[in-house]
Chains A and B, each alone.
Chain A
Amino acid sequence: DAKTTQPNSMESNEEEPVHLPCNHSTISGTDYIHWYRQLPSQGPEYVIHGLTSNVNNRMASLAIAEDRKSSTLILHRATLRDAAVYYCIRALANFGNEKLTFGTGTRLTIIP
């Protein structure tokens, strides 16, 4: 199964860091790990993706375990605008079957 395992929901206080965990124990060597988020009434928004090494961009950081069976999305300083459903996706990379398989995601609530 290509889907990942995430907590259904998490809460965090505003202006504090948030660590969103994801388990992808069946990942293969060439599959990427993508994170997207979806705000209410909007399409998903790309957050970050990586293969083996930790990745940083202006939105977040992605920490990938050495065995690649899990990863953590880090929002360094949560704002109210970060309240969304966050999807961790194991992106299949085998030729002709590359696709993003979305799971149920983690609903992140930010407490003011």
Chain B
Amino acid sequence: KAGVTQTPRYLIKTRGQQVTLSCSPISGHRSVSWYQQTPGQGLQFLFEYFSETQRNKGNFPGRFSGRQFSNSRSEMNVSTLELGDSALYLCASSLVPGTGYEQYFGPGTRLTVT
């Protein structure tokens, strides 16, 4: 069974631009979560989607948004990029929501904002 895939793997953007990252969960998994990882803040939860609905959101500004499609694939968008948005963005999928289930992470998208 294929794992979680994320595209693109690397991205360089300029301040003020916007970016869209894509995540394809493991087949059959319906819940997708997004995390941001930086050296200073570590791994931080962004949001979770299930059945095309955002169930849960972390403490990030409104510039960070996401969506989920009917095939469970998910995208996240960051508008008006800031230098501090440079990070590894990780997507994780699980069968269903809830913390009783393990999450499977993708390799991440490395975003660099210049």
Q: Which residues of A pack against B, CB within 8 Å? A: 31-32, 34, 36, 42-46, 49, 51, 87, 91-93, 96-105
Contacts and interface: CB of A to CB of B under 8 A. Distances in A.
Given A98-B56, A99-B48, A99-B58, A91 B99 contact: yes
Nearest to A103: B42
8 contacts: A43-B106, A49-B102, A87-B43, A96-B55, A96-B56, A99-B45, A100-B33, A100-B103
B90 A43 contact: yes
Contacts, number: 60
A34 B99 contact: yes
Interface of B: 4, 33, 35, 42-45, 48, 55-56, 58, 90, 92, 97-100, 102-108
A96 B56 CA distance: 6
B114 to A, nearest CB: 21
A34 B45 CA distance: 15
A95 B42 CA distance: 25
A29 to B, nearest CB: 13
Contacts of B108: 43
Contact of B98 (A42, A43, A98, A101): A98
Contacts of A92: 99
Contacts of B56: 96-99
